[in-house]
Structure 1
Amino acid sequence: MTRTFTFFNHAGGVGKTSSARDFGYELAQRGHQVLLVDFDPQGNLTSFLGADKWKLGAQSTLLGALLEDEPAAVAGHLPPALEVHGMHLYPATIDLAIAEAQLLAKMGRERRLSNILQHLPEQYDYILIDSPPSLGTLTVNALVAADAVITPVATRFKAVDGLPGLTRMVNELQWVKPHLGFAAFLPTMFDQRNRHDAEVLELIREQLSPLGPVLPPVRYRAADHNDASMSGQPVAVYKPGSEAARDMEGAVTAFLNLEANP
């Protein structure tokens, strides 16, 4: 059975895209079939996995399938998924921004991505969607297509302040996606040497545990995370055995334990 999760936080700078990449890679390393869907017109996930978004055309993205008005014809517009680091990827380019405006006039606009995922040519264990850090039509599609939401949360007071808006949006989306909730919260950008980070981590656990499980934190190391992204590799490929790689391994282990014991 395929499980679909959308990585979403309407605040930028929380490590959302790199978390989706590294989370997916760790799942794939454990033998799972993983599809990553870059649903952000900025195409950062595409770049972070080594694909050249500037050489990819709109035909390489899900744009055609999103704008197809006949549900049964969607499959004919699906491009071949890219193979990246043992995973499959539907990339994004700036062309995907066209869908943001055009979907507003479409029937079933909130369910377009959900319908696409039902017509995939291959079977996957996990589909991970990287949504835009905004509250537009593409984001709504990404959330409605998910079984649940995985939310990276930076261990900063500013990030915690924005959480009420995020939870309110997820609650409102239950009008079109009943029972949508949080699969997990992933603390990111964590510096265990900093008292501020430790205090915010405890605050995150206190405030968010009633809404969903809080995974072990991922420590931030610029030399690992930033350089891995620039090189187009998961952090565990760029620097095997690093703190960043071990932290993601621990987070995915905790997540899979939750999946096995709901």
Structure 2
Amino acid sequence: MTRTYTFFNHAGGVGKTSATRDFGYELAQLGHRVLLVDFDPQGNLTSFLGADKWNLNAGNTLLAALLEDDPESVTAQLPDLLEVHGMGLYPATIDLALAESQLLAKVGRERRLHNVLSRLPTPYDYVLIDSPPSLGTLTVNALVAADALIAPVATRFKAVDGLPGLTRMVSELKWVKPDLKFAAFLPTMFDQRNRHDVEILESIRQQLVPLGPVLPPVRYRSADHNDASMSGEPLGLYKPASDAAQDMRAAVAAFLALEGTGEKGRS
């Protein structure tokens, strides 16, 4: 059974895209079949995985499949899949922004991505979607396509201050998808040496546990994260012994324990 999760936070600077990349990589390292969907026209996930955006165009994205009016013809409109670091990737380019306005005139516009992902020619254990940070047509598609959301939350006061807005946005989207929920919250940008971060982490746990599980925090080291992204590699591949890579492995393990799964084939 495929599980689809969208990484979403309307606030920028919380490490959403790198979390999508590294979470997917750790799942793949455990033997799970993982598909990453870059659904942000900025294409940062595509870049962070080493894909050459200079040689990509609209035909490499999901744009044609999203705009296809015949549901049975969607599969024929799917682009060739990129294989990156043991995962599949549907990349994004700025061309994907065309879908933002063009979908407004389409029937079933909120469910277009869900329809596309339900017709994938290859089965996956996990589909992880990196959504745009703003609440537009693409983001609504990314949220509706998910079984549940994984919300990266930075251990910063500004991020905690924005949590009511995040939860309200998800609540309002229940008009489109009544069972939409948080699968987990992932604390990011954490510095255990900083009292502020420790206090904010506790605040995050107190506020969010009623809404969904809070995973172990992922420490942030700018040199490690930035260098991994510039190298186009997941952090667990670029620097597997780093604090952040170890933290992400722990977060993924905790998430799989919540699901009742672990390495592929185990229960």
Using structure 1 for the length normalisation, give the TM-score: 0.99
In structure 1, the residue corresponding to 2:213 is in which secondary structure?
coil
Q: Deviations over 1:129-156 (max 9, x none)?
A: 0000100000000000000000000000
Give the aligned partner of residue 33 of structure 1. Answer: 33
Listed as ranges, the matches of 1:45-84 within 5 Å are 45-84=45-84
Give the aligned partner of residue 171 of structure 2. Answer: 171
Give the aligned partner of residue 231 of structure 1. Answer: 231
In structure 2, the residue corresponding to 1:192 is in which secondary structure?
coil
Give the aligned partner of residue 85 of structure 2. Answer: 85
Moved more, 157-166 or 40-49: 157-166
Listed as ranges, the matches of 1:1-262 within 5 Å are 1-260=1-260
Report how many aligned residue pairs link the two structures. Answer: 261
In structure 2, the residue corresponding to 1:184 is in which secondary structure?
strand
Q: Deviations over 1:53-103 (max 9, x none)?
A: 121011110000011111111111001210000000000000000000111
Runs of 5+ consecutive residues of structure 2 not aligned to the other structure: 262-267
Contact map agreement 1:28 1:34 (CA 8 A) in 2? yes
In structure 2, the residue corresponding to 1:103 is in which secondary structure?
helix
- CA separation in 1, counterparts of 2:67 and 2:196? 46
Contact map agreement 1:54 1:93 (CA 8 A) in 2? no
- CA separation in 2, counterparts of 1:44 and 1:52? 11
Moved more, 47-56 or 141-150: 47-56
Using structure 2 for the length normalisation, give the TM-score: 0.97
Contact map agreement 1:188 1:219 (CA 8 A) in 2? yes
Contact map agreement 1:26 1:249 (CA 8 A) in 2? yes
In structure 2, the residue corresponding to 1:54 is in which secondary structure?
helix
- CA separation in 1, counterparts of 2:160 and 2:61? 33
RMSD: 0.7
Q: Deviations over 1:149-183 (max 9, x none)?
A: 00000000100111111111111111111211000
In structure 1, the residue corresponding to 2:5 is in which secondary structure?
strand
- CA separation in 2, counterparts of 1:77 and 1:99? 14
Which residue identity does 1:224 align to in structure 2?
Answer: D
- CA separation in 1, counterparts of 2:189 and 2:54? 29
Aligned-pair identity in percent equals 79
- CA separation in 2, counterparts of 1:23 and 1:202? 23
Give the aligned partner of residue 264 of structure 2. Answer: none
Which residue identity does 2:32 align to in structure 1?
Answer: H
Q: Deviations over 1:2-45 (max 9, x none)?
A: 00000000000000000000000000000000000000000000
Which residue identity does 1:111 align to in structure 2?
Answer: R
Q: Deviations over 1:192-223 (max 9, x none)?
A: 00000000000000000000000000000011
In structure 1, the residue corresponding to 2:74 is in which secondary structure?
helix
In structure 2, the residue corresponding to 1:21 is in which secondary structure?
helix
- CA separation in 2, counterparts of 1:196 and 1:169? 27
Structure 1 residue 242: Cα displacement: 1.0
Moved more, 196-205 or 50-59: 50-59
Moved more, 166-175 or 110-119: 166-175
Contact map agreement 1:48 1:231 (CA 8 A) in 2? yes
- CA separation in 1, counterparts of 2:194 and 2:155? 10
- CA separation in 1, counterparts of 2:244 and 2:197? 16
Which residue identity does 1:66 align to in structure 2?
Answer: L
Which residue identity does 1:171 align to in structure 2?
Answer: S
Which residue identity does 2:203 align to in structure 1?
Answer: L
In structure 2, the residue corresponding to 1:215 is in which secondary structure?
coil
